[in-house]
Amino acid sequence: MTDARTGRTRTLAIALAALVAALVIAACGDSDTVGGGSDEDVQTAKGGKASGSVTISNWPGYIDPGKNGTVNEFEEKTGISLEYIEDVNDNNQFFGKMKPLLDQGQSGGRSMFVVTDWMAKQMHDLGYLQDIDYADVPTVEKNISDIARESVADPGRKFTIPWQSGLTGLWVDTKKAPGIRSINDLFDPKYKGKVTFLLEMRDTVPMVMMADGVDPETASKQDWLDAIDKINKATDSGQVRRWTGNEYTEDLTAGNAVASIGWSGDASLIGNPNAEWRKPTEGCTIFTDSMVIPVGAPNSPAALEWADFAYQPEVAADLAAYITYFTPVDGAKEVLQKSDPASANNPLIFPSEKFLEGCVAQPEPPGGPEDVQEVTDAFADATTG
């Protein structure tokens, strides 16, 4: 028995000693920085004649599938072979997955992916993206709508081409909770445990701020932290049932939730006929998901060709009708007026200016990187009970 004990102790001792030795060696050796992006100059993506094969990552549900879908159309028209992967499920998760590659200047074979504008900015700041010269994408330049051309995250659109935009607001089960018209209604104890919030910080926190009368575009860091505090209390008390990405649609479908903060284009995912998207009385946020070209993109000319293709009004019309979010392409509405008037008149696909009143583009938390990190951490802590 003593033998066994000393034997095991000796084993553990050796193991520990080895670990400590390795750490000491590491400390004395290179004290390099892991991560933090690259310091190299930002390149501009190569344009020009496109050919060959190209891989693009996008969010699920952002393309009309099948034989008559846009991907096939593109391949037939241009002869370029397009591999379209739907592996962007969440901005942070995608970032976490891609970061190790991007740090090394690689993109894992992708020539383009689609992330929300604020994430594009974060990636650009870290040197992970190439710039885009709109001269290389004439159709985009011609057809991009005025609203889409403006951007808080990328003023002047230097490294992004918008794919789709959408509104964040309230999805409400009109039979079970007809009275919900404002974000503050979600904090009503009457609905305890039956509401879900979005994990997307730049949607949820600004909307909570707006409901309390704070203008997100001029809010201070303290305003953000105060709103996060209110959210934290609601989470701890069980008022909020779950924090979700896209899966709030499941809870609405199954009747687990009567109201969710959610995105305007998700009607097709919610199997609950009583569910309806409502713009909160105090306003909403507008998000834009954009195409970006990463460093190490193997075939950026082909990727740019794809972006150009998607901005032709007929193609954009097909996409808009299927995806049910709003398109950044002028001319799509006119095409749909003839072929699919129901879609053309859907305010969620083609919102009027009046409809968009009070809606702001997703704001960034104010301050430098450390401040943004502080807000991000506070929010992340608040959302995991």
Nearer to another protein, 92 or 337 (CB): 92
| Position among 13, 14, 16, 17 found at the interface with another protein (CB under 8 A) | 14
Nearer to another protein, 118 or 243 (CB): 243
Return the range that interacts with another protein (CB under 8 A); candidates 137-145, 205-213, 235-243, 282-290: 235-243
Residue 265 tokens, joined: 């284009």
* Least distance between another protein and beta carbon 195 (Å): 11
Within 237-296, the residues that bind another protein by CB under 8 A are 238, 240-243, 245-247, 249-250, 253-256, 268-269, 271
Q: Across-strand partners of 329?
A: 144
* Least distance between another protein and beta carbon 63 (Å): 11
Within 77-96, the residues that bind another protein by CB under 8 A are 85-87, 89-90, 92-93, 95-96
- Contact letters for another protein, residues 341-370 (x by CB under 8 A): ----------------------------xx
Rounded to an integer, what distance in angstroms lies between the CA atom of residue 176 and that of residue 276? Answer: 12
Contact 269, 17 (CB under 8 A): no
* Least distance between another protein and beta carbon 140 (Å): 26
Contact 200, 328 (CB under 8 A): no
Nearer to another protein, 7 or 79 (CB): 7
- Phi-psi region for residue 35, left (φ > 0), alpha (ψ -120 to 50) or beta? left
| Position among 104, 220, 339, 345 found at the interface with another protein (CB under 8 A) | 104
Nearer to another protein, 241 or 333 (CB): 241
Within 142-201, the residues that bind another protein by CB under 8 A are 193, 199
DSSP assignment of 131-174: B--GGG-HHHHHHB-HHHH--SSSTT-SS-EEEEEEEEEEEEET
Run of H or E including 198: strand 195-198
Please, what sign has the CA dihedral across residues 198, 356, 368, 59?
positive
Rounded to an integer, what distance in angstroms lies between the CA atom of residue 127 and that of residue 36? Answer: 9
* Least distance between another protein and beta carbon 378 (Å): 10
- Contact letters for another protein, residues 34-73 (x by CB under 8 A): xxxx-----------------x-x-xxx------------
* Least distance between another protein and beta carbon 35 (Å): 5
Q: Could you tell me which of 93, 315, 331 has the C-alpha nearest to residue 323? A: 315
Return the range that interacts with another protein (CB under 8 A); candidates 74-82, 103-111, 129-137, 301-309: 103-111
Q: Across-strand partners of 112?
A: 56
Phi and psi dihedrals of 164, rounded to 5? -145, 155
